[in-house]
Chains A and B, each alone.
Chain A
Amino acid sequence: MNRMLKGLLFATTVLAPGMAMAQSANLTIESWRNDDLSIWQEKIIPAFQAKNKDVKVTFAPMAPTEYNSAVNAKLEAGTAGDLITCRPFDLSLAMFQKGQLASLSDLPGIGNFSDTAKSAWTTDDGKTTFCVPMASVIHGFIYNKKAFQEAGVQVPKTEDEFFAVLEKFKKGGTYIPLAMGTKDQWESATMGYYNIGPNYWKGEEGRKALISGSQKLTDAAWVEPYKTLAKWKPYLGDGFEAQTYPDSQNLFTLGRAAIYPAGSWEIAPFKAQADFEMGAFPPPVKKAGDTCYISDHNDIGIGLNAKAKNPEAAKKFLAWVASPEFAELYANALPGFFSLNSTAVKMNDALAQEFVSWRQNCKPTIRPSAAIVGRGKPNLDLEMWRVSANVINGTETADQAGAETQKGLDSWYKPAK
């Protein structure tokens, strides 16, 4: 009896997975996109498996803030999945340099991406690419069309118009002018500073000058956006200091707020929640006629675990991710995640089209803290979260915010001369 039980246990625990393996390869995708779980399970993975019956793909997301430390620990312990979702720039580069990600320079289909698209997952010398670019996200403002009609206001193009619109909503009293809180800190930087900032530091020009050391975070171009952020304070909802990210999302989708400082990734969830028409506008420029800059940030890619158990199956999956077929599927399943594939992708979502249309007139840039200056300690991105929240809370001035971040940067970063 006992022996039979042991035999049964052995068969079910040790042998069974092995037998399953023999029939099909199991791939696990490590990701931080837990919001997208159902879309992967219902749309993307079935589309792949329809053609590759022998490969079983599992999408295994976790909390975004814990993703990098968790996936690093898994990679070191050798328990990570075969496919690793890649954060852009320095974080994934560090993984590649540690030998945790495999080179994908010779992956079939990698040629479908421009150098700009690949820049987020390519070594500094431009020779090796280690993740397949999946999507970029664009920052801007999403607004409630109904609220705008009721108040009789137009979409603001300049900063003065923007504040005039906010003032009008504040006087009207029906809507909270801006749906944003500072409790979780990251929105203040990601939807605030990185959103409106490129108009001040002139996008790539300023970002590259920061890397080369010819500009500093204490320069006017980097401090002024904080000053503008500080002016948002009176237009945020009551008690915004304790308002979390989901609070802000709900305030807007319940129709209680007029404008939501956004990233394009909000489109899909907002469409599912809100029952009013939504529009979007790019960050307003200072004076009419100024060149506009937008944050068009390479946000998500996917790479191969260097110690993958099923590298062949994983490469098959990656090649599919690099194909135009995936690009169209992904961009439409998740409107707001814009394909980086060189093949033009037809998007059906009007709001997503609106975001993408800004690329025609505005100059795109990426988040300033993402590449090269984001490698050290203190982490510039986290520092910018903190000071942006402080500036909006009014506990710190714009100049202090600039000085503090520059001090943190100076403590480890020496620009190449």
Chain B
Amino acid sequence: MSDTDMTDTGIAPVKRPARWHILVFLAPAFLVYTAVMILPLIETLRLSLFNMVEGQLAFVGLDNFVRLFSDPRLSADFWNALKNNTIFFIIHMLVQNPVGIAIAAMLSISGLRFAAFYRSAIFVPTLLSFVIVGFIWKLILSPIWGIAPTMMDWVGLKWAFAPWLGKPETALITVSLISVWQYIGIPMMLIYAALLNIPEEVLEAAECDGITGWSQFWKIKLPLILPSIGIVSVLTFVGNFNAFDLIYSVQGALAGPNGATDILGTLLYRTFFGFQNQMGDRSMGATIAAVMFIIILAGVSLYLFVIQRRMRRYQF
């Protein structure tokens, strides 16, 4: 073999065939996603800049937004919904995620009996339809037919029962906790997976250094699952500010009592589609949807560009 032979073949550029298959494989998802998500989103944002002027849909710039924030009734409804939505989110962050992490931590203890059973049992509500969840809890908590007052009576706690869903002070907390009950499986699963990913060697090394039990969780495991907790928080944020279904099925579109459980989703529904004698106002509905989009976008950007960049990641 001579050297020239080798160089000859090396010089000729390898002609790679166009990789059409990438486009072909991406196309279905891209087309479907565009048709059902991106186009409606753009259309909604566009509609929020239009309104009916003398029976014709006309471009009005930011007029709808000005009206949303300046009209005393609309703005009162909006701020009430935003406040309730924030409380809804805070309750999820304070209850759903810490409890989810705690359950995941317990499940990951090796040698726990029936771990697989608990794992599935806790995850099952997440798979249920919101209609079923709403209906079941409405029945459980019903002061007339509900099982909650009876069961509380068995343990002598009847006095503590109240029609929680009907009282303005407790309705929002109750609905939030129902939602927590339903969705707690998601943080549990994600954190559980993250905990299982922690290599044995790291934990063994920690044990050699005398770090066990609680301090092992706080000092070793928690820092390692922080990125997962971040993801869970973002998912909770997006899910909560998009929430609508559970409130609608438990409290109806009016989100009573007296708007105490009204969140952005239910406000959007009532405004866009109308309710009973109140006609739907599509432009204003689209405006509220646009504001929701902006709120969610801002929250997610804050996480992506500020928090996630500062988070320390560990490579094993």
Contact = CB atoms under 8 A, between A and B. Distances in A.
A263 to B, nearest CB: 15
Given A395-B258, A408-B73, A243 B166 contact: yes
B277 interface: yes
B306 to A, nearest CB: 40
Contacts of B166: 181-183, 239-243, 393
A378 B279 CA distance: 10
Contact of B141 (A91, A242, A247): A242
B294 interface: no
B143 interface: yes
Give the one of A64, A185, A237 with max B CB within 10 A: A185
A247 B141 CA distance: 13
Contacts of A393: 166-168, 257-258
B278 to A, nearest CB: 4
Interface stretch (B27-35, B82-90, B102-110, B248-256): B248-256
Nearest to B141: A242
Interface residues of B, number: 31
A396 B259 CA distance: 14
A91 B279 CA distance: 9
Nearest to A382: B278
A184 B73 contact: no
Given A69-B280, A381-B277, A238 B143 contact: yes
B164 A65 contact: no
Interface in B124-154: 138, 141-145, 149
A406 interface: no
Interface in B162-182: 162-168
Contact of B277 (A239, A382, A389): A382
B280 A72 contact: yes
A374 interface: yes
B163 A241 contact: yes
A137 to B, nearest CB: 16
A72 B279 contact: yes
B276 interface: yes
Interface string A360-398: 000000000100001001110110011001100101100
A84 B143 CA distance: 39
Interface string A67-79: 0111011000000
Given A68-B274, A408-B73, A242 B256 contact: no
Contacts of B278: 377-379, 382
A240 to B, nearest CB: 7
B276 A241 contact: no
A411 interface: yes
A242 B274 contact: no
B257 A240 contact: no
A90 B257 CA distance: 27
B69 interface: no
B59 interface: no
Residue picked from A94, A374, A395, most chain B C-beta under 10 Å: A395
B257 A182 contact: yes
Contacts of B165: 183, 241-242
A244 B143 CA distance: 10
Contacts of B167: 241-242, 393
Interface string A84-116: 000100110010000000000000000000000
A391 to B, nearest CB: 11
B280 to A, nearest CB: 5
Which among B144, B162, B258, B279 has the greatest number of chain A C-beta atoms within 10 A? B144
Q: Which 6 A-B pairs have the closest CB atoms?
A: A239-B143, A241-B166, A242-B166, A242-B163, A239-B163, A69-B274
Interface of B: 72-73, 138, 141-145, 149, 162-168, 252-254, 256-259, 273-280
13 contacts: A64-B276, A68-B279, A181-B166, A182-B166, A240-B166, A243-B166, A247-B145, A374-B277, A377-B73, A386-B256, A393-B167, A395-B168, A395-B258
Interface of A: 64-66, 68-70, 72-73, 87, 90-91, 94, 181-186, 237-244, 247, 251, 369, 374, 377-379, 381-382, 385-386, 389-390, 393, 395-396, 408, 411
